[in-house]
């Protein structure tokens, strides 16, 4: 039995939720680096303290499955009833705080399996694939799918989507409505990057706003009555990599789109901009002037003065036109809405294919060209520091045969032979001060005729932006044999992953059959309390405890599935509400709840 399987089993049988429940009674837990610290220092070692990581570590350390199991078994604590009156919403893609994180009183489920029907409240078959996240308010869920494709259709492309309203307790469909797109802006149905259905709906419990990335947005009541809609002409002639997520701040909703044809300031290469609209009427309020790539996922947040701003990036693959590469922080409310607070210019060939995280102190730029984390001061956009993610790092590796972890320190990846490139996976990043986390792409094989080494293998990275400490943790990520998988240039593809619930393969691009470790857009990472949820395209979800003192095997909380490997496909992001997680795949919507 593998380490991760045994660990999941141990964690479940010791009722890990008891630990979470007790933690949840402390204050309001506004930050897991704050009020909960004194409590966690007094708990058994498995809960770990949440102070900034120390730079003092043993040169090499190993741990066996027995030692880790013993630590977990030592952590059983009294439980408490989940209050039935608790209302914890996830109103938009990035959650209630706009930053993909939430601190809750009700603990989330940490261990589950769709394949084994473990901690699954309900599963609902979806008529077609879709890439949106799930907006949650009370007993309503809102998500989108592509419009159902006909089995006889040769092309697996389209531009129309369907908005679904689902009952959160039962999975029953309450209503649906079509949201058509521009026929000239078609996307592949199961595309490992983005589709017409990528944007996540937004709800405030009274209304729901929905976006079709192929050119329509609108507002409905939560009963399904349309209030308004508007269309725009999306950028064409480039890969359909529209990775922005809609955002609502106050009564303003934000969209990414080019200026309309005929607009006096529209460029020939059709830059994209952030625009603010009145949520009640759909009326245009303002458009910022610096531009952004639609590969970027802008992030909103609160400024020290109490106002709100959005951080957006320019620069991407495929010669996206918006320039110069870099960042702009734009005010989104008040008298200065739509005006840039500051802009920062990156070094040449900078890429902004990330979730553009920031906080009240710092804004972050992942420089994949120079392998640096650039840390900017949020106040004025000045560069505070650069932290190399390849020099003087700690690396915890997993030996499958020995079922053992080993940590080595002061590693320089740049000096390894053969040369290994460290490439943060697109959009699989999150920041929770003082840490920045990202998944690493992994590929060993031929690319453009040359052997390529991208890694480290199956790793998540954590960078402490105050101390500069960089740590890599290898996941025990099992890759089972799949009957009809095929290999090319060192890479394995799983063609059955993209078969929908009606038995139709809607993946026109073979790259959509990847495991989630190379050249794809996985779902965004979310954090519920101290736990981070990383979703991979193959339907696996790794839960990490981001608060551990040393980012090694002690951070591994659970390795879960959304279905059978090789037959499950998800580039979606989970949502949390009232002790439940809601997640989805190409085939179904899933309610995860501790039983």
For residues 38-45, average pLDDT: 30
Position 4 scores a pLDDT of 52
Determine if the peptide bond prior to 65 is cis (ω within 30°): no
Q: Which residues pair with 395 in a beta bridge?
A: 408, 472
* Collapsed DSSP state (helix, strand, coil) of residue 18: helix
pTM (predicted TM-score): 0.87
Q: Are 307 and 330 in contact (CB under 8 A)?
A: no
Q: What is the pLDDT of residues 263-309, one digit of tens each?
A: 998 988 899 999 999 999 999 999 999 999 999 999 999 998 899 99
pLDDT at 59 over 80: no
**pLDDT class of 474 with cuts at 50, 70, 90:** very high
For residues 387-393, average pLDDT: 98
- Least Cα distance to 388 among 500, 448, 450, 463 occurs for 463
**pLDDT class of 216 with cuts at 50, 70, 90:** very high
pLDDT at 30 over 60: no
Give dist(CA 194, CA 157) in Å, integer. Answer: 12
Q: In the numeric block, which tokens belong to residue 255? A: 């969209």
Q: Which residues pair with 473 in a beta bridge?
A: 396, 460
Per-range mean pLDDT, top range of 38-47, 107-116, 233-242, 417-426: 107-116
Position 374 scores a pLDDT of 98
At a CB cut-off of 8 Å and minimum separation 6, what does 416 contact? none
For residues 405-417, average pLDDT: 96
Residue 381 carries which DSSP code?
Answer: -
pLDDT at 76 over 90: no
Cα first-last separation, the chain:
24
449 vs 593 pLDDT, higher one: 593
Q: Are 166 and 126 in contact (CB under 8 A)?
A: no
233 exposed, middle or buried (CB, 10 Å; 0-12, 13-18, 19+)? middle
Position 1 scores a pLDDT of 55
Give dist(CA 320, CA 511) in Å, integer. Answer: 21
pLDDT at 93 over 90: yes
Q: How far is CA 196 from the centre of its chain?
A: 18
Q: Are 195 and 128 in contact (CB under 8 A)?
A: no
Residue 17 carries which DSSP code?
Answer: H
Q: In the numeric block, which tokens belong to residue 266? A: 């529209």
Length of the chain: 595
Q: Are 451 and 369 in contact (CB under 8 A)?
A: no
Complete edge-to-edge strand list for the sheet that includes strand 173-179: 135-137, 140-146, 161-167, 173-179
pLDDT at 569 over 70: yes
pLDDT at 522 over 80: yes
SS3 track for 41-60: HHCCHHHCCCCCCCCCCCCE
> In sequence order, what E strands does 259-348 have?
272-278, 284-287, 299-302, 308-314, 326-331, 340-345
For residues 28-45, average pLDDT: 32
For residues 161-185, average pLDDT: 97
Q: What is the pLDDT of residues 427-457, one digit of tens each?
A: 999 999 999 999 999 999 888 888 899 999 9
* Collapsed DSSP state (helix, strand, coil) of residue 495: helix
* Collapsed DSSP state (helix, strand, coil) of residue 299: strand
Q: What are phi and psi of 3, to 5 degrees?
A: -55, -50
Q: In the numeric block, which tokens belong to residue 473? A: 């943790």
């Amino acid at each position: 039995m593998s380490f991760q399987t045994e660990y999941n089993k141990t964690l479940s049988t010791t009722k890990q939720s008891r630990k979470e429940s007790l933690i949840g009674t402390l204050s309001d837990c506004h930050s897991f680096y704050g009020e909960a610290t004194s409590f966690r220092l007094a708990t058994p070692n498995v809960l770990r303290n949440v102070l900034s990581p120390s730079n003092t570590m043993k040169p090499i350390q190993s741990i066996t499955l027995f030692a880790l199991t013993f630590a977990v078994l030592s952590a059983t604590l009294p439980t408490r009833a989940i209050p039935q009156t608790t209302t914890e919403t996830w109103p938009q893609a990035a959650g209630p705080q706009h930053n993909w994180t939430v601190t809750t009183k009700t603990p989330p489920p940490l261990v589950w399996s769709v394949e084994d029907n473990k901690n699954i409240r309900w599963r609902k078959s979806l008529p077609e694939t879709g890439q949106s996240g799930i907006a949650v308010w009370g007993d309503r869920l809102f998500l989108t799918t592509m419009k159902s494709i006909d089995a006889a259709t040769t092309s697996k492309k389209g531009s129309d989507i369907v908005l679904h309203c689902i009952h959160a307790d039962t999975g029953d469909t309450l209503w649906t409505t079509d949201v058509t797109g521009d026929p000239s802006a078609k996307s592949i149905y199961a595309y490992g990057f983005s589709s017409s259905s990528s944007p996540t709906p937004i709800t405030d419990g009274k209304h729901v706003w929905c976006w079709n990335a192929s050119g329509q947005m609108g507002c409905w009541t939560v009963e399904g009555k349309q209030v308004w809609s508007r269309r725009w002409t999306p950028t064409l002639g480039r890969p359909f990599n529209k990775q922005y997520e809609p955002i609502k701040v106050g009564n303003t909703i934000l969209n990414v789109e080019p200026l309309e044809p005929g607009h006096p300031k529209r460029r020939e290469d059709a830059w994209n901009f952030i625009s603010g609209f009145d949520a009640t009427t759909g009326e245009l309020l303002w458009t910022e002037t610096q531009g952004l790539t639609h590969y970027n996922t802008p992030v909103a947040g609160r400024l020290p003065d109490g106002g709100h701003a959005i951080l957006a990036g320019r620069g991407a693959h495929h010669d996206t036109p918006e320039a110069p590469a870099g960042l702009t922080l734009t005010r989104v409310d008040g008298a200065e809405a739509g005006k840039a607070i500051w802009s920062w210019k990156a070094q040449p060939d900078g890429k902004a294919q990330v979730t553009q995280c920031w906080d009240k102190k710092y804004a972050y730029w992942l420089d994949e060209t120079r392998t640096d984390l650039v840390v900017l001061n949020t106040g004025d956009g000045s560069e505070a520091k650069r932290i190399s993610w390849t020099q003087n790092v700690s690396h915890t590796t997993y030996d499958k045969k020995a079922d053992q972890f080993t940590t080595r320190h002061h590693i320089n990846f740049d000096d390894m032979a053969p040369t290994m490139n460290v490439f943060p996976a697109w959009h699989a990043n999150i920041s929770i001060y003082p840490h920045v986390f990202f998944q690493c792409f992994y590929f060993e094989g031929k690319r453009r005729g040359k052997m390529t080494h991208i890694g480290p293998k199956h790793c998540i990275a954590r960078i402490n932006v105050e101390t500069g400490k960089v740590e890599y943790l290898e996941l025990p990520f099992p890759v089972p044999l799949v009957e009809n998988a095929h290999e090319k240039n060192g890479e394995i593809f799983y063609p059955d992953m993209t078969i929908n619930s009606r038995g139709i393969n809607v993946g026109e691009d073979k790259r959509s059959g990847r495991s989630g470790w190379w050249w794809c857009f996985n779902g965004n990472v979310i954090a519920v309390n101290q736990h981070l949820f990383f979703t991979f395209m193959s339907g696996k979800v790794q839960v990490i405890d981001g608060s551990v003192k040393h980012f090694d095997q002690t951070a591994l909380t659970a390795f879960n599935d959304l279905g059978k490997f090789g037959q499950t496909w998800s580039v979606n992001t989970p949502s949390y509400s009232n002790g439940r997680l809601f997640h989805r795949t190409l085939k179904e919507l899933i309610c995860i709840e501790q039983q």
